[in-house]
Amino acid sequence: MNSPHIPESQLHAYVDGQLDTHERAEVLDATRTDAELARQLAELNRLKELVRLAYQNPPPPRQLPHSRPARLSRSGQAIAASCLLTLGLVAGWWAHTPAPGPGFQELSQLDQPIPPGDRVLLHISKMDTQRITHALDKAERLLQNSVQQHRPLQLEIVANAEGLGMLREDSPFGDRIRTMRQQHTNVRFLACGIAMENARLKEGREPKLLPEANKINAALEQILGRLKEGWIYVKG
């Protein structure tokens, strides 16, 4: 595939727009007198175009089999929109502020007093016993503080991906979650529907949740909806 004057790597670089003006002119000059070289260039351009076309309209992510609102039932728009919203928050956050924005907090920040009437979403995505224990410790402290200080609080603990294990019926945190729900009416445990669907596909049966947990469409959808409403997001 090599031309005597133009190495193959130069041809790839030409079609990929990696050459400077002088180098491009050199390749173009060579193609005027070298039909084989011109054919090779056309072939590379054609391959590039085929690859672009092959992935122009990828199929959307599969839908959950049920319980998805009609407006989200087409072409994976729920996930697409959710990711777009996340990206909006994330990229805006990156692009405009070197430090985390007010809606995002570290777990350690939960020890600090939060504004009255505030709402917090705690996100669990890993089945890491130590981390979940730590996150639940923080959540309980937050709930207790809200009672002691008579501060209204709404807390949602959302589990997805591996973190779904925290809310499954065989969860090692089952007793603790049950106690938390009994003691506090302002905490909700929510399981990601996509993670449940993935578990169902993997295990061949519907995963069972703790009675205290409720299924939602998608964790990301919940997180983004809450962020838009002004909730504080905390990664557990």
Partner 1 sequence: MGFFWQNKQFEQTLNLHWQRLYRQAYAWCHDPQLAGDLVQETLSRSCRRPYQFENDKALGVWLYKVMNNCWRDHHRQQREMVPLDEMHMVTESGPDLSLAQQQLQHTVQQAMAQLKADHRQIITLIDMEEFSYTEVAEILDIPTGTVMSRLSRGRQQLKLILEKTSPSLAAGGTTIRSIKP
Closest distance between partner 1 and the C-beta of residue 236, in Å?
11
179: amino acid identity, one letter: T
CA distance 73 to 66: 9
String marking each residue 128-147 x if it binds partner 1 according to CB under 8 A: --------------------
Instruction: Select from 5, 25, 28, 48 the one that contacts partner 1 (CB under 8 A).
Output: 48
Q: Is 60 in the site for partner 1 (CB under 8 A)?
A: yes
Residues 6+ apart with CB under 8 A from 216: 158, 190, 191, 192, 193, 222
215: amino acid identity, one letter: K
For residue 43 the two structure tokens come to 């072939």
Give Cα 190 distance to the centre of its chain: 17
- Which residue lies nearer to partner 1 by CB, 38 or 83? 83
Closest distance between partner 1 and the C-beta of residue 220, in Å?
6
Q: How many helices (H) and strands (E) does the chain have?
A: 8, 6
CA distance 112 to 208: 35
Q: What angle do CA 52, 55, 60 make, to 5 degrees?
A: 155
Instruction: Select from 25, 29, 36, 62 the one that contacts partner 1 (CB under 8 A).
Output: 62
Q: Is 83 in the site for partner 1 (CB under 8 A)?
A: yes
Residue with tokens 């130069």: 10
| CA distances to 123, 194, 209 from 66, in Å | 24, 11, 17
Residues contacting partner 1: total by CB under 8 A: 64
- Which residue lies nearer to partner 1 by CB, 103 or 174? 103
- DSSP conformation class of 168: B
Closest distance between partner 1 and the C-beta of residue 214, in Å?
20
Closest distance between partner 1 and the C-beta of residue 78, in Å?
10
Footprint on residues 102-121 left by partner 1 (CB under 8 A): 102-104
Footprint on residues 186-215 left by partner 1 (CB under 8 A): 194, 198
Other CB atoms within 10 Å distance of the CB of residue 103? 16
Closest distance between partner 1 and the C-beta of residue 109, in Å?
14
Closest distance between partner 1 and the C-beta of residue 165, in Å?
15
- Which residue lies nearer to partner 1 by CB, 22 or 150? 22
- Which residues contribute to the site for partner 1 (CB under 8 A)? 1, 8-9, 12-13, 16-18, 42-44, 46-62, 75-76, 79-80, 82-84, 86-104, 125, 161, 194, 198, 220, 227-228, 230, 233, 235
